[in-house]
Amino acid sequence: MLRYTLTRLASLAISLLVASAVIFLVVEVAPGDPAAYMLGLNAQPDTVAALRAELGLDVSRPERYLDWLGGMLTGDFGVSYTYRTPVAQMIADRLWVSLPLALYALTLSTCIAFPAGLLAASRRGKAADIGVTAATQLGVAVPNFWFAMLLVLLFAINLGWFSAGGFPGWDDPLAALKALTLPAIALALPQAAILTRVMRSSLLDTLGEDYIRTARAKGLSRGQVLWRHALRNALIPVLTIIGLQFSFLLAGAIIIEQVFFLPGLGRLIFQAISQRDLIVVESVVMLLVFAVITVNFAVDLAYAAADPRLRTRR
């Protein structure tokens, strides 16, 4: 297990390094000089040069890349071109909206998918199974931002149970959770549909195994077999998908935040794009990619811990 962890750790480091280089290069080829953009059309050349020096744009590209990389390792993401505030601070503020939203949605999606998948698998071919399968078919076809708009129409505009958007801050945790509820439901629905399908097919696979037949033959009831033997073994692929969904939810939150006017990472990145605040774009993208790669790494490790056969295979 140690050897496996070390190899995976090395490959994690390489992936992060390559990803950071790709992001830096893509942003570097962007036409336009941020300093000239900030100062406008009438800026004097020496003012632009002074600002370039201040922003650290006057050194060579490799140096700037190393600066950026070294800065990120120590939590210093640089200074926003537009707001002149530390990027790390801006991201941390926004993360307080996006991260709880993603976790909330993940919890909801799991709470929906587990019972639904279990129900469908245990009633295979019956009305309940057909109903759940049809619902998942619809769930994966509905764009989450449109579903979000329908939720607003029903629960905010017609019924008035929730506000249509905005975020009151975490001073009042209940109000904050309430503001995140509709966005979390919208975000969770398609993921719950996918998770339900995985849960159902994984359970059905497990229920077809020989040891399940043995357990039934020795006299256990269907329910006992399901709860004691099948569920635990069926959970491994389900947990993998839950891990993967977290990063999808974090990225998906970018769009949902637009529907509900939430001040999260999504709003930050779109503002930064329109203001050509490239250092913010660079850093938020790197953060999202970092989340995806690290979560995948954690899932791989958890998988290997649960199933020793995977440690020797690549």
Partner 1 sequence: MSRTLILGLALTALFVGAALLSFVWTPYDVETMSIAQRLRPPDADHLLGTDHFGRDILSMIMVGARTSIAVALVAVGIGMGLGVPLGLWAAARRSGWLDEAIMRFNDLVFAFPSLVIAILITAVFGPSAVNAIIAIGIFNIPVFARLARGAALPLWTRDFILAARVAGKSGLRISAEHILPNLANLLIVQGTIQFSLGILAEAGLSYVGLGAQPPVPSWGRMLADAQTMVALAPHVAVVPGLAIVGMVLGLNLLGDGLRDLLDPKLRVLRT
Residues 26-45 within binding reach of partner 1 (CB under 8 A): 26-27, 29-31
Provide φ and ψ at 106, rounded to 5°: -65, -40
Q: Pick the closest to residue 124 from 240, 238, 237, 205 (CA basis).
A: 205
Residue type, 256: I
Q: For the CA atoms of 49, 51, 54, 59, what is the dihedral angle to 10 degrees?
A: -40
Question: Which x/- pattern, by CB under 8 A, does the window 189-228 give for partner 1?
Answer: ----------------------------------------
- What φ, ψ does residue 313 adopt, rounded to 5°? -85, 155
- 292 is an interface residue for partner 1 by CB under 8 A: yes
Residue 279 contacts partner 1 per CB under 8 A: no
DSSP conformation class of 145? H
DSSP assignment string, 298-312: HHHHHHHHH-THHHH
Answer whether 154's CB lies under 8 Å from 182's CB. Answer: no
Evaluate whether 123 touches 129 at the Cβ level (below 8 Å).
yes
Binding test (CB under 8 A) with partner 1, winner from 138, 177, 306, 310? 138
By C-beta, is 163 or 296 nearer to partner 1?
A: 296
298 counts as binding partner 1 under rule CB under 8 A: no
Residue span binding partner 1 (CB under 8 A) among the ranges 39-47, 167-175, 222-230, 247-255: 247-255
Which residue reads 């709880």 in tokens?
Answer: 100
Rounded to a whole number of angstroms, the minimum distance from the CB of residue 282 to partner 1 is 9
Cβ 279 vs Cβ 80: under 8 Å: yes
Interaction of residue 159 with partner 1, rule CB under 8 A: no
Please give the residues from 111 up to 130 whose contact with partner 1 meets the rule CB under 8 A.
none
Binding site for partner 1 (CB under 8 A): 11, 14-15, 18-19, 22-23, 26-27, 29-31, 137-138, 140-143, 145-146, 149-150, 152-153, 157, 247-248, 251-252, 254-255, 258-259, 269-270, 272-273, 276, 278, 281, 285, 288-289, 292-293, 296
